[in-house]
Amino acid sequence: MDKKLIFSGIQPTGTFTLGNYIGAVRNWGPLQDEYNCIYCVVDLHAITVKQEPAKLRKNTLDAYALLMACGIDTEKSILFIQSHVKTHAELNWILGCSTQFGELSRMTQFKDKSKRHADDVNSGLFTYPVLMAADILAYNADLVPVGVDQKQHLELARNIAQRFNQRYGELFTVPEPYIAEIGAKVMSLQEPTKKMSKSDENPNACILILDDKDTIIRKFKRAVTDSEAEVCYREGKDGINNLMTIYSSVTGKSFDEITSEFAGKGYGDFKLAVGETVADHLAPIRNEFDRLIQDKAYLKKCYTEGAEKAQRYSQRIVSKAFHKVGFVDKA
Ligand code: TYM
C-alpha cells in the first residue's frame, strides 16, 4: 500500500516558539520515515496581519532554514514556500465559493485576531481558514500534524472537502488531524491558562527556539507557578502542569517519573532543570540554523526544487478541481 501523505505549514513570524516546536514542528521530522511529507512556510497566511515587507522576506527564509535545522530533510520531504506555488491561491478561490460566511464567522482564531488587530480586520483574515483548507486539499493530504489551536480550522477543511465532493463528485481526501498526546497546547509561562504565543506582549511568557541558554533559563526561572511546593500534575496547577508537559516532551519522562525526580525539592530546582534541559535540547538546532542561514545559495536551491515538486504534485489535483466545477480545460 502507498504511504499516507502528511501536510503541514507554519507562519513565518520570526523564530518559532517552544509551543510551535513541541506542538508541531518537532514531530514533523520523525514522520518523514513513515509517511510522504510535504511542509510549507505559509507566507500568504502571514500577510493577513500587517507585515513589513523586508522583515517578512527575512522571516520566511529564517523559517525555511529553521525547519531544516529542526530535522526536515529536503531529500525525503517536499519543503517549500507557499507563495512560490500558485495552486494554493487558485484552489483557495474555488473552495471559498463553497464556504459559508456563517462558518467563517464562528472561527475562534478570527474572533481573537480581529480583536487584536481591530484597525485591520481585512477579508484575508476572515477567509484565512479557506486558504488553509486549500493548502491541505491541493495535495489530498491524509494527515495534518498540528497543535490543538488549529483543530477548528482542520474541521472546517474537512467540511469543505466533503461538501465539494458531494456537489461535484469525489476528488478530495478528507484530512484527519494528527495531534500529539503531550504538548499539543504549550501554555504561556506568565499566564499558564493562555496559549504560548509570539504575539504575547510580555517577552518572559514565550520561549523562542533561537533564544540563548541564559535567556531560556531566565524565562523559566520567572515562570508563574502556584503557592504549593509539590511538583505533580494536578488540576488547577496550570503553571506546574505546563512545565511538566514541556519537561516530559523534551526528556520523554512520564509525569510520575518527574514527580519522583523532584520529590522533596522546591519549584526553584524544577524550573532550573526545565530551563537547562530545554536549552541543551535546542542548542544543536540553533547551531545548525546558524550554519544553514549563511548558505543562501543552498537554501535557494532547496526552496526552488521544493516549489517545483509541490507545484507539479498539486497541479494535478487542482486541475481536476477546475474541471469539476466546469471551467473550460486549457489545451
Ligand atoms: P502557526 O504558524 O500559528 O503555528 C504552527 C504550528 O504550531 C502549533 N502551535 C502550538 N502547538 C502547541 N502549543 C502552542 N502554544 C502552539 N502554538 C502554535 C500550531 O498548532 C501549528 O501546528 N494556520 C496555521 C498554519 C497553516 C497550516 C496550513 C497548518 C497554514 N496552512 C495547513 C497545517 C496545514 C498557523 O497559523 O500555524
Tell me, using a 6 A CB cutoff, whether residue 12 lines ligand 1: no
Residue 19 CA to ligand 1 center (angstroms) comes to 9
Show the cell assigned to 50: 500587517
Residue 185 CA to ligand 1 center (angstroms) comes to 10
Tell me, using a 6 A CB cutoff, whether residue 175 lines ligand 1: no
With the most atoms of ligand 1 within 8 angstroms of its CB, the residue from 92, 146, 188, 194 to mutate is 146
Residue 66: its pLDDT value, please?
98
Residue 297 CA to ligand 1 center (angstroms) comes to 28
With the most atoms of ligand 1 within 8 angstroms of its CB, the residue from 6, 10, 25, 207 to mutate is 10
Tell me, using a 6 A CB cutoff, whether residue 147 lines ligand 1: yes
Show the cell assigned to 58: 527575512
269 contact partners, CB below 8 Å, separation of at least 6: 262
Residue 13: its pLDDT value, please?
86
Q: What is the DSSP string of 229-265?
A: ------TT-HHHHHHHHHHHHHH---HHHHHHHTTT-
**Has 113 been annotated as catalytic?**
yes
Q: Is the pTM of this model over 0.85?
A: yes
Catalytic choice (76, 185, 198, 253): 198
Pick the closest to residue 69 from 320, 319, 326, 287 (CA basis): 287
Residue 295 CA to ligand 1 center (angstroms) comes to 27
Report CA-CA distances (Å) from 240 to 190, 193, 220, 262, 271: 12, 11, 11, 12, 9
| Closest protein CA for atom 37 of ligand 1 | 10
Tell me, using a 6 A CB cutoff, whether residue 184 lines ligand 1: yes
Per-residue pLDDT 10s for the chain (331 aa) are: 689 999 999 999 889 999 999 999 999 999 999 999 999 999 999 999 999 999 999 999 999 999 999 999 999 999 999 999 999 999 999 999 999 999 999 999 999 999 989 999 999 999 999 999 999 999 999 999 999 999 999 999 999 999 999 999 999 999 999 999 899 999 999 999 999 998 888 999 999 999 999 999 999 999 999 999 899 999 999 999 999 999 999 999 999 999 999 999 999 999 999 999 999 999 999 999 999 999 999 999 999 999 999 999 999 999 999 999 999 998 7
Contact of 131 with 44, CB cutoff 8 Å: yes
**Has 115 been annotated as catalytic?**
no
With the most atoms of ligand 1 within 8 angstroms of its CB, the residue from 8, 20, 40, 199 to mutate is 20
Task: Return the SS3 of 137.
Answer: helix
**Has 198 been annotated as catalytic?**
yes
